[in-house]
Amino acid sequence: SSSVMNISEHLSCPLGFGHYNAVDICILETVVIVLLTFLIIAGNLTVIFVFHCAPLLHHYTTSYFIQTMAYADLFVGVSCLVPTLSLLHYSTGVHESLTCQVFGYIISVLKSVSMACLACISVDRYLAITKPLSYNQLVTPCRLRLCIALIWIYSGLIFLPSFFGWGKPGYHGDIFEWCATSWLTNAYFTGFIVCLLYAPAAFVICFTYFHIFKICRQHTKEISDRRARFPTHEGDTAGDTGHGPDRRYAMVLFRITSVFYVLWLPYILYFLLESSRVLDNPALSFLTTWLAISNSFCNCVIYSLSNSVFRLGLRRLSETLCSSC
């Protein structure tokens, strides 16, 4: 019972109707956070190792962005060790306010990197389908590395004002008491983040994938019409599948993007409502925050289920590990 009390002292319990109910909720929240931390770290380490063991995955330039997302999500899992250790009553040795600010800033920057990478992936696939002849000249490894560097720099700068007292960078579901009571959101800072990050990324993704699937649909219709006109002409069939691999890969990336926004939309809506002082509910704060953070694990699952080359690399990695054991 003493360990339960220690956990309850460190955790801001959202639904504490009575002492025992509050303690039960604290234990439930602790289990959720510890489990997510383990899954995120294990899942993204697997993705990183598979990419190193499966050279075919480097055929697409988007592998640069996928790996960047995997590293960012891995760092999210490592960062989540801070609240995990705090909940398990291990002292961080740092002042709570500084720990809270640094943790909130790091989580926000890492998720910003993931969001920007998804936008860049959609642009990359858009160029691959709309400009196939000049794609290799437009998208070079040097430009990709420069783009990834700019993503990290931009993500780091956009949340930096939070350290100077201008609002909260967006981390809710507060584990630390100082975060919940003393560090408040600011409507102007929230609008700043939405205008410079959330809205542009969502617009770019919607625009590019709309045109990608529109082009693919037109291409499929042209193939069907040509086959209906010349049913025995086999020469066209071989040349009509040019967009096939690109379309399938675009679908994999579209699933990753869709799940990202499905999991992050409740968090963004709560972020806006709380900043406007319309809603302040600790239970919703906790649920929306950790639902969004769970996306760091979902990317691994979607990619492993949707991409055959990734599954092949995962099988080879498993066989290597099993044979060494």
Encode 267-300: b = buried (16+ Cβ within 10 Å), e = exposed. bbebbbbbbeeeeeebebbbbbbbbbbebbbbbb
Question: Using CA atoms, how far apart are residues 291 and 36, in angstroms rounded to an integer?
Answer: 10
Residue 23 is predicted with a pLDDT of 63
CA distances from 271 to 139, 188, 239, 248, 279 (A): 36, 12, 49, 34, 9
Kindly report the average pLDDT of the chain as a whole number: 77
pLDDT band at 46 (very low <50, low <70, confident <90, very high): confident
Q: Is the pLDDT of residue 233 over 60?
A: no
Higher pLDDT among residues 181 and 268, named by residue: 268
The arithmetic mean of pLDDT across residues 19-47, rounded, is 78
Please answer whether residues 171 and 285 qualify as being in contact, where contact means their C-beta atoms are separated by less than 8 angstroms.
Answer: no
Residue 238 is predicted with a pLDDT of 41
Residue 51 is predicted with a pLDDT of 78
Looking at CATH, the fold of the domain delimited by 27-226+245-324 is given as Rhopdopsin 7-helix transmembrane proteins (1.20.1070)
Higher pLDDT among residues 83 and 132, named by residue: 132
Residue 321 is predicted with a pLDDT of 74
- What digits encode the pLDDT tens for the residues 11-26? 444 444 444 465 666 7
Please state the φ and ψ torsions of residue 305, each to the nearest 5 degrees.
-85, -25
Residue 1 is predicted with a pLDDT of 44
Which one-letter DSSP state was computed for residue 233?
Answer: -
Burial of 155 (0-12, 13-18, 19+ CB in 10 A): buried
Encode 157-173: b = buried (16+ Cβ within 10 Å), e = exposed. ebbeebeeeebbbbbbb
- What digits encode the pLDDT tens for the residues 169-183? 876 656 667 777 778
Q: Where are the domains of the chain?
A: 27-226+245-324
% of the chain surpassing 70 pLDDT: 76
Residue 146 is predicted with a pLDDT of 94
The arithmetic mean of pLDDT across residues 73-93, rounded, is 72
Higher pLDDT among residues 83 and 188, named by residue: 188
Please answer whether residues 152 and 115 qualify as being in contact, where contact means their C-beta atoms are separated by less than 8 angstroms.
Answer: no
Residue 28 is predicted with a pLDDT of 78
Question: Using CA atoms, how far apart are residues 158 and 195, in angstroms rounded to an integer?
Answer: 11
Q: What pTM value is reported for the model? A: 0.77
Question: Using CA atoms, how far apart are residues 194 and 201, in angstroms rounded to an integer?
Answer: 10
The three-state DSSP-derived secondary structure of 34-78 is HHHHHHHHHHHHHHHHHHHHCHHHHHCCHHHHHHHHHHHHHHHHH
Q: Which of 208, 199, 307, 213 is nearest to 261 (CA)?
A: 199
Residue 151 is predicted with a pLDDT of 94
The alpha carbon dihedral of 256, 124, 74, 72 has a sign of: negative
Residue 58 is predicted with a pLDDT of 61
CB atoms within 10 A of CB 221: 10
The arithmetic mean of pLDDT across residues 190-209, rounded, is 88
The arithmetic mean of pLDDT across residues 263-275, rounded, is 85
- Residue showing tokens 């190792």: 49
